[in-house]
Structures are given as structure tokens and as C-alpha cells.
Structure 1
Amino acid sequence: MTWSREHGSCVEPRVKLLDIFRTQDGLVRHDQALEIGMSPATIGRRVGAGEWLEVHPRVYREASHVPSSRSTLRAAALWAGDGATLIGEAGASWWNITDRVPETVALAVGPHGGHSPPRGVRTVRRAVEARVKVDGVWVEQRSATALEAATSLGLVEGARLLDRALQQQRVGLAGIRATLEHMGQRHGVVLARRLVELAEGGARSEAERDALRSLTRAGLRGWTPNLAVDLPGFGRVVIDIAFPAHRIAIEVDGWAFHRDVDRFRRDGLRQNEVVIGGWRVIRVTWYDLQETPGYLADAVRRAIAAGLAA
């Protein structure tokens, strides 16, 4: 075995250390360094010299390695150990369901585990029924992670996350529904239930009801829901909400997940024909109606005014 006089250590541990840094985003845990043959004194010297930076207690980052969102998540997992599991938004980030990394990384540590977490880490004392080791880190299975993350973000942002996960086929409706059934009375189950209902098709129906309520509250009259219109050369279409006297058509969309490529294409062709038929189209989504409930009524008023001025 060849020794390096400069560092007073053998070459083999150095090679193993480089491999650990390569596979762990520039991070190493104290016990891992000991396992490859480094002494506590050597570890202390590297920390003291600024070659290693202590990210969490007994978790170090090689100073030249640039921190990343992934290293933030891994550092928390390394601190907590193999008995811990990334959950919620942290787990969703590890699964690449979301690009966002939470300010506080949540880990489930079992019903009896866990020490006082360091800054930037939160431990939850509960068991994880199904977990998977992904790139060296234990993370809750994908569907459970997606639903828990969505629930933690609130209605609109949670819906965006779940909608995106379903669009990208990173999770399926069956898995989401199974996760809900296993939640019991856990905190957040009411919001989780609503999100699942929206994911299963309720978003469009809810958006239509919200649109009608918005027009009613604004005192707008003369609209007809689900108006059938015959378009020459195209056939009969049903306009979600129509103002026939002003030739204004309101088209309401639910979540993006509910519009596959074929439906997206059909909707585009249908809207083109409605416009060619002399209608002005206002399109709103479930998200629009949740975030800016007054937008639809305002848009209709402006469209009516523009039509009268023409």
C-alpha cells in the first residue's frame, strides 16, 4: 500500500474518499470517513484547515464543491441516517416532481427516532410504509410524496404540483387515491381529499361553477351555460358559457392533466371555428378562477364594451 507523506494517509482511502464525494454531491459523513480508514485527527485537521465544511453535525462538504439543491437534500438525509426518509416537498424535489427545494427539509424518522434537528431540517416522528432508495437516499414512494407535498403547499400551489406530476406521468391517479385512503385522519387529509377529487376530474366542474358564480356576483346578465351552436363546415359545438347577444364565448378549462394531446388539438380547432363563426373567445382555467376570481367578470365587461364601440 502506498502512503502519502504530505497528508500522512494511504492512497487507497483517498481514492475511496473521492468516490464518496463523487456519488454524494461532494458530501461525506463522519462515520463514512472513518470506515475508509481516516482517523478522527485527520478529519479534524481537514475541517480546521477549511478543506471540509461542516454542513450539519458530523456531515461535511468538500470546500471546492459548489452547493446545490440536491446536496442540500442529501446533507439532511446523511445527518439523519439510513433510518430516515425524505418526505413531502423534499421528497418531491428528490423525485424531480418539483424544481423547488423547501427551506426546511422534512424527514420521517419513525415513531421513536430522531434527535433535535439542525437548522434547515425538520423531523417527523412517524413510520413510512413504503419507501425507496433513490441515488443513495431513502425517499417515500412517489405517489405518497406527491400528495403530501401538494397538501403542504396549500390548494392552488398544491394543485399545480399534483397537476404537473400527473401530466408528466410521474404519478398515477390510482396511486394518489391509494395514498389518500392510507392517510386516515392525519393532518391535511381534508385538503388532500379535495386535491384528489380535483385530480379525478372535478377541477373542470368546479371551474364552471366558479365561473357562473363570478358572473352572477358581478351582476352580469344575458349569459347561457352550455349553449349549442352550429358552425358551417364544422358541425355542432357546445360553448361552456355564452353571451349570445354580444357573441362572446367563455371556454372553461380544468387542470392541464385532463387535456391530453388529442384533446388539446381538438380544443384548438374548435376554438378556431368558433372565432371564425364570429364569436370572441375568453378562455379561463381553474387556476385563473382561484387566484383572480374577479378577472372573468372584468374581461367580459371589457369585451362587451369593445364590441359596442366597434
Structure 2
Amino acid sequence: MSRAAIWRRVGSEEWIEVHPRVYRSATHDLTPRAALRAAALWAGDGATLVGQAGAAWWNLTDRHPETIALAVGAEGGHTPPEGVRTIRRSVGDLARVKVDGVWVAHRADAALEAAASLGLLEGARLLDRALQQDRIGLPALRRALTSMGQRHGVVLARRLVALAEGGARSEAERDAHRQLSRARITGWTANLPVDLPGFGRAVLDIAFAGERLAIEIDGWAFHRDVDRFRHDGLRQNEVVIGGWRVIRVTWYELQENPGYLVDVVRRAVLASAVAA
């Protein structure tokens, strides 16, 4: 199409310029996904959507980036338009794939880089959601971590991968123990075994035996598949039937609201004393 033909459409407002040499039809809105495509078209086939932009293109997150990041290679890249950021980083052909007409970093690489850029809590939510949906697996996450090398964000990425591998629950247990100890709450036992008729032996994460109060700790949702979820539900039913009250707390709650556990335990213990 000639330059004159393009400008006739722009002049008649049939087309609207999004970026230099990139136009959209006036009959279509500039949706978040269209904005990602427009940025990729502006940068050309040598560029790759990475980080939050890559994760959004893979539909791993509903959160679309305010600034779209594109890896353009060590030599590539012109001055980017508003809302676009170019990174002078090479993404090899084996580390990217063309999806719906756009070059994007492999799913796990985009997810991990995006998670590390979002911070601990939001990054954990992104990875947890992706793992739950079977969009990525732990082996792919480990490979993505290795490929990050010593890039910015690798320290947080390393922690997120450790949490994904099962560290969230053990970290939550340690946090819970510290919070109870700092609040000088006593009378509890960690990992208390109890025998439940018709079920067998169960181990309560934190137990106040005198008050028959159990605190159960959950990590990331990824680790609670259908069978585990069903087993946990049956187990908790038997614990309650056995005369225990059960409070569940998650890694997220302990991170976001450190005072919650101490508050709920104090109220539960007080309720026991009043009932007695």
C-alpha cells in the first residue's frame, strides 16, 4: 500500500495511528491485547514480548502492564513510543515462540520474569494461578530461573520458585510459630499427632490441646489438587467431630496481615475460657 493510500485513510479517520507505521481501524477499540500487538508490530519480528507483557500475551494474568516491555537484542531498538520500553537483551530463537502472530518469550520465562517484577505477593499470585491452571510446570520454572542468570530480579525469582516447590507451607509454619512466640502466646504444640476413629492418625500443624483448638497452615493453592483438597476436607471433618475447633490460615494471610493469626488465636482461646 502506498504512503498516499495510508494517509488518505488516516486523514479520513478510517485508520488511527497507534505507533509509527502501526495503525488500527477506527471501528476497533485499542484493547489491552491490541496494545500488546501494536507494540510488537512497531518493534518488528526481531523483538520479543517479555515480562509482564509476555505473561499477559499468554493470558497468565489479568493485569496488563502500563509499559510494554520488548527485548530487542543488543543492537536493536529505536526510541520507543509512549507506553513501550525496549530492553537491549537478546532472546534466542529457542527461547521464544510466535503465538497468534506475535513473538513472545516462552511461557515459564515470561511468567517468572513478570512475577519477579510484581513483588513477592503479586508475583506469588501470578505463579500460583499459572501452576493451578497447568499453564506451566515446576521443571519449566526451574529452567526459566536458570536462564535468568544474574539479571535484575533473580533473587526474588529464586525465592518464588522455592515457594512454588513447596516452601510456602513450611515458611508459613515458621512464620506462624514466630508470631505466636513474639506475642508470648503459650500452650501450643507444633505437629501434634492425634488418633481419629475411622480415619487414623492425623498431625495437627499447631494445637492448643487444652482448648481443643487446631491451627491448620496452607501454602499455595497449586499444591492442593482435587485429591488433596478432598482428603483435607475429610480429615478436617473428623478433627471437628473429634471435638476440635479448626482455624485455617494461608501463606498469603500471614504475609499480608501478620497480626491476623495472633488476633484470631487470642479470640478463640478467650472463647474457650468463656465456654468453660
Mapping of residues 226-237 of structure 1, within 5 Å: 226-237=191-202
Which of residues 189, 198, 213 in structure 2 aligns to 1:224?
A: 189
Tell me, in whole angstroms, the C-alpha distance in 2 between the residues paired with 1:242 and 1:308: 16
Tell me, in whole angstroms, the C-alpha distance in 2 between the residues paired with 1:142 and 1:269: 36
> Computing the radius of gyration over CA atoms, which structure comes out larger, 1 or 2?
1
Identity of aligned residues (%): 75
Tell me, in whole angstroms, the C-alpha distance in 2 between the residues paired with 1:242 and 1:293: 19
Which AA in structure 2 matches 1:186? R
Q: 1:72-106 deviations in whole A, cap 9, x for unaligned?
A: 11011011111100000110111111121111111
Aligned to 2:250: 285
Q: 1:10-52 deviations in whole A, cap 9, x for unaligned?
A: xxxxxxxxxxxxxxxxxxxxxxxxxxxx221121121122111
Which of residues 257, 269, 272 in structure 2 aligns to 1:304?
A: 269
Partner SS state of residue 4, structure 2: helix
Aligned to 1:211: 176
Mapping of residues 110-121 of structure 1, within 5 Å: 110-121=73-84
Tell me, in whole angstroms, the C-alpha distance in 1 between the residues paired with 2:257 and 2:99: 39
Tell me, in whole angstroms, the C-alpha distance in 2 between the residues paired with 1:173 and 1:232: 37
Tell me, in whole angstroms, the C-alpha distance in 2 between the residues paired with 1:309 and 1:51: 74
In the TM superposition, residue 169 of structure 1 has moved relative to its aligned partner by: 1.2
Q: 1:192-212 deviations in whole A, cap 9, x for unaligned?
A: 111111111111110100111
In the TM superposition, residue 66 of structure 1 has moved relative to its aligned partner by: 2.1
Tell me, in whole angstroms, the C-alpha distance in 2 between the residues paired with 1:289 and 1:56: 44
Per chain length, whose mean CA-contact separation is higher, i.e. which structure has more relative contact order (CA < 8 Å, sep 6+)? 2
Aligned to 1:199: 164
Which of residues 168, 176, 179 in structure 1 aligns to 2:144?
A: 179
In the TM superposition, residue 277 of structure 1 has moved relative to its aligned partner by: 1.1
Gaps of 5+ in 2: none
In the TM superposition, residue 184 of structure 1 has moved relative to its aligned partner by: 1.6
Which AA in structure 1 matches 2:33? R
Q: 1:99-130 deviations in whole A, cap 9, x for unaligned?
A: 21111111000011101111111111001131
Which of residues 74, 80, 96 in structure 2 aligns to 1:131?
A: 96
Aligned to 1:86: 49
In the alignment, does 2:204 pair up with 1:245? no
In the TM superposition, residue 232 of structure 1 has moved relative to its aligned partner by: 2.1
CA-based RMSD of the aligned residues comes to 1.0
Tell me, in whole angstroms, the C-alpha distance in 2 between the residues paired with 1:188 and 1:67: 31
Which of residues 133, 152, 158 in structure 2 aligns to 1:168?
A: 133
In the TM superposition, residue 308 of structure 1 has moved relative to its aligned partner by: 2.2
In the alignment, does 2:222 pair up with 1:257? yes
In the TM superposition, residue 307 of structure 1 has moved relative to its aligned partner by: 2.1
In the alignment, does 2:223 pair up with 1:266? no
| TM-score in terms of structure 1 length | 0.86
Tell me, in whole angstroms, the C-alpha distance in 2 between the residues paired with 1:152 and 1:132: 22
Aligned to 1:61: 24
| TM-score in terms of structure 2 length | 0.96
